Chain A
Amino acid sequence: MTQVTAEAATEAAPLRGGELGRFLWTQLTSMRTALVLLFALALAAIPGSLLPQRPVSPIRVKDWITDNPLVGPAFDAVGLFDVYASPWFAAIYLLLFISLIGCIIPRIGVYVRALNAPPPLTPKRLQRMPDYRTASTAEPAQSVLQAAEQQLRSCGFRVRRLEDSVSAERGYTRELGNLVFHVSLVVMLIGLAWASLLGYKGNTIVVEGQAFSNTLTQYDDLTTGAAFAPEQLDRFTIWVDQFDVKFETGPVQRGAARLFLAKVRVAEAGETRPGVIEVNNPLIFGSSTVHLVGHGYAPVVTVRDGAGDVAFSGPVPFLPQDGNFTSLGVIKAPDARPSRLAFEGSFLPATVTDELGTRSVFPDAVNPELFLTAWTGPPREETGAPENVYSLDKAGLVQLTEGEKKVAFRLKPGESFDLPGGGSISFDSWKRWTKLQVGHTPGLWLVLVSVLVAVTGLCLSLFIRPRRIWLRVVGDRVEVAGLERAEGRGGMDDELNELIEAATAGKGTT
């Protein structure tokens, strides 16, 4: 009953804006809220690890939604397929960091004041302290106190000499470490924000023997931060001269990658120099890095048109679909006349045909074959619109047939196929391509430094043992007491014993 009336009373007198604000602020910056927000963050991070995520695998997201028509669209609506960019995820970590800032600023003030204050007065009843013992002494009180002060100071304590006692404290660095740790977290977040605002990351596929220049148009895809400007792209050109790959051929982990090494030449600021790119060994230009993130095969083909002219010749990157590099791709010859030609199909580096069908059984090109179907259509106006080079827009095209049968053929290197109705395609050879990722992450050093500082602060905060020790002389008796101010390794016993020994040994000078 009383409680109800009390609640009614608070409700009756509505909080003024300022009070409400202060109330909310106190709540937000309380340790309990920090705890709840930490758990909320952990919980919120989980769905993104279990559901496919759009930035990583958009196709799997699409498939997932198709396979789960009931919940898929709802999940999509609340951002479960891009958890780490969703507003609710951001809300949790921003609240956490606001709470953190609100928590550390006052604590910095408290800490600075504590640093400037002497150790507290000796409590009246030392026997109430968790560690307490007494000893008798024949030494004069001042000499005991003097000796105790010396001993404590030599152990690194900050000492306050009082009339009949000594009060000492040490381990201030613990709180410093704690503050440094929490501040570093905020700095790290700033570094991350900087990196994501001004950074960019792009991928490009470069066939052996070809080059990449760092301009917008040369990227297959490019993601940029909100404050990115194209002028930021560092100017350089990379020729991929050779790409070496080795795969495990032994029985254990057969087919696992053993070596990737791209031999390149780099032109930057008018100078050309040789270089290599390996996994774990990127090229670095200022704050841009060039990583080797993928590779595949590019069959080299020559397409002749119905008039007998070469309509297309060169390597065509095919995209790997599995660990054995079954690769899909499209060959386009829009300039073929009288009608344009296109081919769609797959490249298998290690072709085997058996009762399981035709497939690739190894990632290296030990028995490469090209499997194609052919398409044709009337010439088309060049529109200049960008076109996906890895897929075939079949509008306006018809598949080539021979009688009822669709034309489908397989080629080994050096073979060619004459198309019904004129024209041919020859599979001349194959090359490898590498996928290079160019990344620019400007705030990275700040993130790194703040993490290192954070770990240092954390160690201080966890391993420093803050404690207080008091010694009082009452007649011919010496009382000592200790208080551990944080959970530590213990060790107070020894410290108190040493103190008693030193203080009563008669070494103090009055």
Chain B
Amino acid sequence: MSAYSSLAMVTSMVIYLLAVVAFAAEWAVARRLEPTSVDASILVGAGGPDELADRLAPATQRRLLRLDMFGRVGLALMLVGGAVHLVAVVLRGIAADRMPWGNMYEFVTTALAVVVAAYLVLAARFDMRWLGLPTALLAAISQGLAVTVLYVAVAPLVPALHSVWFVVHIMAALVAGAAFNVGGIASILYLLKERAQRRGSVGGYLGRIPDIRKIDTIAYRFHAFAFPLWTFAVAAGAIWAEFAWGRFWGWDPKETWSLVTWVIYAGYLHARATAGWKGRRAAGIAVLGLVCFWFNFVGINLLVSGLHSYAGV
């Protein structure tokens, strides 16, 4: 069972890599379109290029069709990859006979499945296929690291993890983490596009994603969704710690960095309400928050020893 799970994990990583290629091809084609010939806001809209296409030169038309095809292929690959990935996570859970969140490998792979699922919903329901390139990149790279560096065979949990609060804590952290990652991707795109705009050269991929105000709002929504969940995850972790170790807060490196991450994101929300910090600076803070999140996850697990050293690597 666990062998099939691992096989499916690796397969999903390969499919995500193919999706990266497809999205990158979409991006490459878009680059060859003269910036003026494509009005991003129309193309990105639901209707697709049909009516607009009539008014464009045939070469451009063909490019647009190719562009759209690559995008669709990428999306389809993400869907297939996501399905395989989901199967892998479920099989892992069955093999371990518990929720598959007992170590870093399991946490990363599950969290990524949530990210991909979120992307698929966004692409299907909210016309956000344009998040494909960064999402596929994130999924392929992290999945690759998970199966190579972080992999551990199935094993039962250590007693400290036998707790409902652990399950609640991990679940909240997982979903919050996925949302922070999507929000962070949006913030990064915001920063890239904003810089391109200031330089007056918005072309290619950046030209095809929505206008920066819209990206900003999308980023905000993901962070606003993730933040209360993260707050809850940290609180549930503290409750769990009270049961497991008899202290709800001990400034363990993991706890400290969860708090640091939380404070940075609180700063992000404040920044958006503060004149002069809106936009670019707020997006910068969001990226900083994401860096802290990842450092807490990868850096602290692997570099610093503490009670939370459950990486199992």
A: residues with CB less than 8 A from B are 31-32, 34-35, 38-39, 41-42, 45-46, 48-50, 53, 56, 83-84, 201, 248, 250-253, 256-260, 278-282, 289, 291, 293, 437, 439, 441, 444, 447-448, 451-452, 454-455, 458-459, 462-463, 487, 489
User: Which B residues are in CB contact (< 8 Å) with A291?
Assistant: 244-246
Given A459-B228, A462-B228, A35 contacting B159 (CB threshold 8 A): no
Kindly specify which of B21-29, B83-91, B187-195, B260-268 makes contact with the partner chain: B260-268
- For B267, what are the chain A residues with a Cβ–Cβ distance below 8 Å? 35, 38-39, 42
- Pick from B156, B243, B271: contact of A280, CB below 8 A: B243
Q: Given the complex of chains A and B, what is the CA–CA distance between A401 and B181 in angstroms? A: 66
If A50-B253, A282-B243, A455-B231 are given as contacts, then 12 extra A-B residue pairs at C-beta distance below 8 Å, sorted by A number, are A31-B270, A35-B277, A39-B263, A42-B259, A42-B260, A252-B154, A256-B158, A259-B159, A279-B162, A291-B246, A437-B245, A487-B224
Distance (whole angstroms) from the CB of B236 to the closest CB of chain A:
10
Known: A455-B235, A489-B221. A280 touches B247 (CB 8 A): no
Contacts of B155 in A (CB 8 A): 248, 250, 252-253, 256
Can you list 12 pairs linking A and B with CB atoms under 8 Å apart? A42-B263, A46-B256, A46-B260, A49-B251, A253-B312, A279-B159, A280-B160, A291-B245, A452-B235, A455-B231, A455-B235, A462-B228
The verdict on B232 contacting chain A, using a C-beta distance below 8 Å, is yes
Give the number of residues in B that approach A within 8 Å (Cβ atoms).
54
Q: Does B130 contact A (CB under 8 A)?
A: no
B243 near A281 with CB under 8 A, answer: yes
Chain B residues contacting A293 (CB-CB under 8 Å) are 245-246
Whether a CB of chain A sits under 8 angstroms from the CB of B274 is yes
B141 CB-CB contact with A under 8 Å: no
Chain B neighbourhood of A252, CB < 8 A: 152-155
The reply to whether B256 and A448 contact each other, CB–CB distance below 8 Å, is no
- Listed in ascending order, the chain B residues whose CB lies under 8 Å from chain A are 152-156, 158-160, 162-163, 217, 220-221, 224-225, 227-228, 231-232, 235, 238-240, 242-248, 250-253, 256-257, 259-260, 263-264, 266-267, 269-274, 276-277, 292, 300, 304, 312
Q: Which residues of A contact B266 (CB under 8 A)?
A: 38
Q: Which residues in B have their C-beta under 8 angstroms from that of A49?
A: 251, 253, 256-257, 260, 300, 304
User: B158, A56: Cβ atoms under 8 Å?
Assistant: no
Q: Which residues of B contact A83 (CB under 8 A)?
A: 251
Q: Write the chain A residue with the least CB distance to B216.
A: A487
- Our pick among A53, A258, A439 for the contact of B159 (Cβ within 8 Å) is A258
- Whether A32 touches B274, Cβ cut-off 8 Å, given contacts A38-B266, A49-B257, is yes
Decide: A84 near B159, CB < 8 A? Known: A455-B231, A487-B220: no
